[in-house]
Amino acid sequence: MSASGRTAPPLHDDRLQAALPALRAMDERMGQALLPSVTVETPTALAHSLWQIAKALHFALDALDANSAESQAPILTGAGDALDQAAGDLRQARADLRHLQDLAAEEHEQQMASVDIASEAIANSGDVQVSLPNGRPARIQIGIDASTGRASWSSPDVELPPIGGRRQLDLTAGLRTLAETITGALPASAFDQ
């Protein structure tokens, strides 16, 4: 019995188990189809993203085959890491196609259209302390301009480069994820009018 008290893997699903041979065949075909695009000297961001998505699928299928929660957990970590990488690669592909100000405006417009300000927190700035590879801490202030959507950052401890398209998208995605996490943890009083 696992630490959670379960005897069967938590992700067991009879319908998925029945579909597993077909899903494995699809997984193999995806890998074969994508291999020529990712084994070139400089794969495109889109090719790399598709490879990571295929990798995440492979991990997820392995999790279905796993026989315990203890063996499923690290496999699912691999799937999540691959999906995170795929999302970053897609942001790079977008950044390669658009000018910085257009990316910022699109992200800002999308956020304003998709967020319900009466029920969701919005993260438009943050103070972060990171540990640098040299062991020293660095404070970094991140902000999103409320009118243009442009991201900015500054630090009294480390020199930061200008923000390009990929960093613009990464920073806004990071703040959006923090806002979603915070929204889910807010007490009911935070939503009072």
Mean pLDDT of 102-131: 89
HSE-CB for 166 with a 13 A CA cutoff: 10
> Distances in Å between the alpha carbon of 89 and those of 1, 49, 51, 93, 163?
39, 5, 10, 6, 17
Beta-bridge partners for 141: 127, 154
Query: pLDDT band for position 1 (50/70/90)?
Result: very low
> pLDDT tens-digit profile of 43-72?
999 999 999 999 999 999 999 888 888 889
Residue partners of 70: CB distance under 8 A and separation at least 6 = 2, 3
Question: What is the pLDDT at residue 142?
Answer: 97
Question: Considering the entire predicted model, what is its pTM?
Answer: 0.82
